[in-house]
Amino acid sequence: MKLYTRIMTFVAVAGLILGAYTASLYSQATVSDARHYVLVGVVDPNGFAVNLAALEKSLVGASAPTIDSYSTAVVDCAAAINQVLVAAPGAGKSIWVYGFTGYANVAGTITFQDANDTALSGTIPLAAHGAFVLQPSGNFSQAWIKCTTNKALELDCATCTLDGIITYAVVTD
């Protein structure tokens, strides 16, 4: 089935935004391989086809994780340490973070860590009314943050409070 369309803005796989195209393509698109949700093969303006096999591998990756659940949670952290964002998932499972947005009320710093206080990020400075964003990752094998097996994901907030949302998965190790 061929679609003649203007490919622009977003590609979605299983409801997850992969990213924005920086320019729109006027071209011929072919719907391909429905078992991979929404994969659209694009012929670029020069007539060269996008390699869907390579695209498929970039979405799945070498690890091909087993995702038990995919969810979002509210972030509502006071100016304190060891604040649990996502509870420990249980034996043989870990937390993978795919997206995060947080807004600070005053200038301060945040640090992601696991339940053992193992740093999962550096210290991130935030300005008053500033924001920190990990743009959603559409590649399930390439999470922004991966916790150690059966460890909670925590956040330390120094000086500021932080409100936002986190997108994460519980993955079988």
The yes-or-no verdict on residue 126 having pLDDT over 70 is yes
The predicted model scores a pTM of 0.65
How far apart are the C-alpha atoms of 9 and 6, rounded to whole Å? 10
Window from 41-45, 84-88, 90-94 with minimum mean pLDDT: 41-45
Contact indicator for 79, 108 with CB cutoff of 8 Å: yes
* All residues at 6 or more sequence positions from 46 whose CB lies less than 8 Å from its CB, including other chains: none
Report the length, in residues, of the chain.
Answer: 173
pLDDT at 12 (0 to 100): 32
Contact indicator for 153, 85 with CB cutoff of 8 Å: yes
Q: What does the domain layout of the chain look like in residue ranges? A: 2-60, 66-172
Q: Is 138 helix (H, G, I), strand (E, B) or coil?
A: coil
Q: pLDDT for 142-169, tens place per residue?
A: 899 999 999 999 999 999 999 999 999 9
Give me the CATH topology for the region 66-172. Jelly Rolls (2.60.120)
**Average pLDDT of the chain to the nearest whole number:** 75
> What DSSP character marks residue 35?
G
Q: pLDDT for 44-84, tens place per residue?
A: 556 666 555 554 544 555 567 889 999 999 999 999 999 99
Amino acid at 97: V
